[in-house]
Amino acid sequence: MAELDDEDRFMGEVVVPEAEPEEEVTDLNGAVRGVLKKSLMVDGVIRGLHEVAKHVEACKAQVVFMAESCNEATYKKLIQGLCVEKNVPVIDVPDNKSLGEWAGLCKIDKDGMPRKVVGASCVAVVDFGEEGEAYNYMMKHLGK
């Protein structure tokens, strides 16, 4: 085999981007944000009343996040009733705009800031993806 000089050695080198360091989780909202971020990477997030109800009914949803700012009482009763019936945990999130942003219902501008955020009243997770600090914090909160 022919000897390679320094230039030839670096031509075929593959640069692998470093994994993003996981954010430290100090509260439940941080855990929800982290869990949704990892779930979005594996297409495990379900958004919207109809889809969430369908996945809870089929016992595919593992956890449901519900916005406290949802002003439709029947909407809340439906999701909470289905979750109690199917034994799916429900975690309340204070703001529907935050929940929508965390669930990917927004555009990200060139500076990395969310724009045109659409509020979400409920979001379900069917696949957690990689389990990390956020997942462990959330499971501890749920008592599992």
Q: pLDDT, tens digit, for every residue of 11-51?
A: 444 443 344 455 666 777 777 788 888 888 888 888 888 88
Provide mean pLDDT across the span 46-60: 85
The domain total for the chain is 1
Whole-model pTM?
Answer: 0.72
The answer to whether residue 4 sits within a structural domain is: no
In a domain, 132, yes or no: yes
122 lies in some domain: yes
- Asked whether residue 57 is domain-assigned, the answer is yes
Domain residues for 63?
26-142
Tell me, what CATH number does 34's domain have? Answer: 3.30.1330.30
How many whole angstroms separate alpha carbon 33 and alpha carbon 26?
12
Calpha distance 120→128 (Å, rounded): 19
State the pLDDT at residue 15. Answer: 40
30 domain residue, yes or no: yes
Q: Is residue 45 part of a domain?
A: yes
Amino acid at 26: T
Non-local CB neighbours of 75 within 8 Å, separated by 6+ positions: 49, 121, 122
Nearest Cα residue to 66 out of 53, 20, 54, 57: 53
What is the chain's length?
A: 144
What confidence tens digit (pLDDT) does each residue in 66-79 have? 888 777 888 888 88
Examine residue 118 and state whether it is found in any structural domain, yes or no.
yes
